[in-house]
């Protein structure tokens, strides 16, 4: 019955409100807020976040629970979107959840509320993070969640193999696996042919070892562009974890006023027979399938998938922009197929925009190129 369900289902907004987590729309607002909560810790944190000084961000940001929750205002929108997505997954009925890199326990405590019959375990290498997490669980009166200070690499020494039916990691693996470099690429298929995975499979093998045979691994990692998503999917597969592309999603959120998107990757041990590029196209186009006809335009990953789907083409003309003192480069190109003229503006950092015009629409194509060049001209000379 709906009233009963409504009463039982905890609300995410209320959760953030109870914890006094503010929504900050700018960096200035964020620093004002955290300084108001603890000026000493804020002063210590600022040079670490701005990379003016080296040190352990997590030990400082988790100096006290109130300060840790104030800092959370940076990622509030992201975490809210992620938890909203979790709430919508009616098929999730976990009995034992492991959260990798749980930090101050904000997400794990939500899982404990959302899945009251499950046992939740959060692990992190940060001592202060785990201290805050335990304090948060106590403050919320939760008895089905526990936190441990453990390095990810040592997890198999602490927990039985195949003992978690849901494993979750949110923005943890870019730190666990060491610095992961931003992929530079012009063509996704070519890039993934040369760089299929993140290399060493020992990390994700640990996830596979701890997961039950029919368990689910949910990751919402820092996969900044489609090349990262492809590498992540291939790395999972190398560790016997297959991406279930139908169940994956992309969440929208804002970070201090800037709109952002992040993929949620769902993996299990069940074979799918779907190759990575096929699965990725499904993920990036499932809300709006690609239609190859004149007048259509696409951005981001969709543009690249549309470009490849257009098949054989002839290069007509092009310009490029090499951003001075930076590795960013842009290309502005016109291509021709038997049916269309294509204007393709793309960058080596993942930027993509594609316009499909009718065959012979050279003037329109030139105008679009000029428009795109003008938008980017402040970045450097176009040749």
Ligand X SMILES: C[S@@+](CC[C@H](N)C(=O)[O-])C[C@H]1O[C@@H](n2cnc3c(N)ncnc32)[C@H](O)[C@@H]1O
Enumerate binding residues for ligand X (CB under 6 A): 58, 75, 101, 103, 124-126, 129, 151-152, 170-172, 175-176
Nearer to ligand X, 22 or 171 (CB): 171
Q: Running DSSP on this structure, what letter comes out for residue 74?
A: G
Backbone angles phi, psi at 15, to 5 degrees: -60, -50
Output the smallest distance, CB 171 to ligand X, in A.
Answer: 4
Output the smallest distance, CB 12 to ligand X, in A.
Answer: 15
Output the smallest distance, CB 138 to ligand X, in A.
Answer: 19
Q: Running DSSP on this structure, what letter comes out for residue 40?
A: H
Output the smallest distance, CB 59 to ligand X, in A.
Answer: 9
- What whole-number distance in Å separates Cα of residue 34 and Cα of residue 189? 44
Contact, 309 vs 290, CB < 8 A? Answer: yes
Nearer to ligand X, 124 or 333 (CB): 124
Bridge partners, residue 332, by sequence: 319, 345
> What 3-state DSSP class applies to 120?
strand
Output the smallest distance, CB 172 to ligand X, in A.
Answer: 4
Nearer to ligand X, 47 or 318 (CB): 47
- What whole-number distance in Å separates Cα of residue 129 and Cα of residue 136? 10
Nearer to ligand X, 150 or 192 (CB): 150
Nearer to ligand X, 81 or 242 (CB): 81
Output the smallest distance, CB 98 to ligand X, in A.
Answer: 12
Beta-carbon contacts of 26 under 8 Å, excluding residues fewer than 6 positions away, are: 256, 257
Nearer to ligand X, 61 or 353 (CB): 61
Q: Which residue in 249, 262, 267 sits closest to 79, CA to CA? A: 262
Beta-carbon contacts of 270 under 8 Å, excluding residues fewer than 6 positions away, are: 214, 242, 244
| Structure tokens given for 185 | 């690429």
Nearer to ligand X, 179 or 295 (CB): 179
Beta-carbon contacts of 114 under 8 Å, excluding residues fewer than 6 positions away, are: 10, 83, 86, 87
- What whole-number distance in Å separates Cα of residue 89 and Cα of residue 4? 19
Nearer to ligand X, 262 or 348 (CB): 262
- What whole-number distance in Å separates Cα of residue 22 and Cα of residue 113? 21
Output the smallest distance, CB 156 to ligand X, in A.
Answer: 13
Residue with CB nearest ligand X? 101
Output the smallest distance, CB 145 to ligand X, in A.
Answer: 14
Output the smallest distance, CB 297 to ligand X, in A.
Answer: 34
Contact, 266 vs 247, CB < 8 A? Answer: yes
Nearer to ligand X, 152 or 232 (CB): 152
Distances (CA, A) of 138 to 12, 131, 206: 19, 11, 30
- What whole-number distance in Å separates Cα of residue 365 and Cα of residue 200? 45
- What whole-number distance in Å separates Cα of residue 255 and Cα of residue 49? 15
């Amino acid at each position: 019955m709906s009233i009963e369900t409504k009463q039982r289902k905890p609300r995410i907004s209320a959760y953030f409100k109870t914890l006094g987590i503010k929504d900050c729309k700018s960096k200035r607002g964020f620093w004002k807020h955290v300084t108001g909560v603890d000026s000493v810790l804020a002063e210590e944190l600022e040079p670490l976040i701005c990379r003016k000084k080296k040190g352990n961000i997590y030990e400082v940001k988790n100096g006290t629970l109130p300060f840790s929750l104030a800092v959370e205002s940076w990622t509030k929108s992201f975490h809210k979107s992620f938890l909203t997505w979790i709430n919508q997954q009616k098929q999730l009925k976990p009995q034992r959840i492991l959260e990798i890199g749980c930090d101050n326990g904000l997400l794990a405590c939500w899982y404990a509320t959302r899945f009251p019959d499950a046992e939740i375990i959060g692990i992190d290498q940060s001592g202060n993070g785990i201290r805050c997490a335990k304090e948060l669980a106590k403050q919320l009166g939760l008895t089905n969640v526990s936190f441990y200070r453990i390095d990810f690499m040592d997890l198999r020494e602490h927990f039985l193999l195949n003992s978690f039916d849901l494993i979750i990691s949110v923005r943890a693996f870019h730190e666990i696996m060491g610095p992961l470099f931003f992929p530079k690429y012009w063509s996704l298929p070519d890039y993934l042919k040369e760089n299929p995975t993140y290399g060493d499979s020992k990390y994700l093998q640990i996830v596979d070892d701890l997961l039950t045979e029919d368990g689910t691994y949910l990751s919402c990692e820092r996969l900044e562009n489609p090349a990262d998503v492809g590498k992540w999917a291939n790395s999972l597969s190398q560790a016997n974890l297959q991406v279930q592309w139908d169940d994956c999603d992309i969440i929208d959120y804002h970070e201090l006023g800037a709109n952002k998107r992040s993929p949620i990757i769902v993996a299990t041990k069940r074979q799918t027979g779907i190759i990575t590029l096929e699965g990725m196209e499904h993920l990036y186009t499932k809300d709006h399938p690609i239609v190859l006809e004149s007048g259509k335009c696409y951005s981001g990953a969709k543009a690249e998938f549309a470009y490849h789907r257009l098949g054989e083409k002839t290069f007509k003309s092009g310009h490029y922009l090499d951003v001075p003192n930076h590795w960013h480069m842009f290309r502005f190109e016109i291509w021709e197929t038997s049916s269309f003229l294509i204007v393709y503006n793309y960058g080596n950092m993942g930027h993509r925009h594609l316009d499909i015009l009718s065959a012979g629409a050279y003037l329109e194509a030139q105008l679009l190129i000029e428009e795109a060049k003008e938008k980017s001209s402040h970045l450097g000379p176009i040749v």
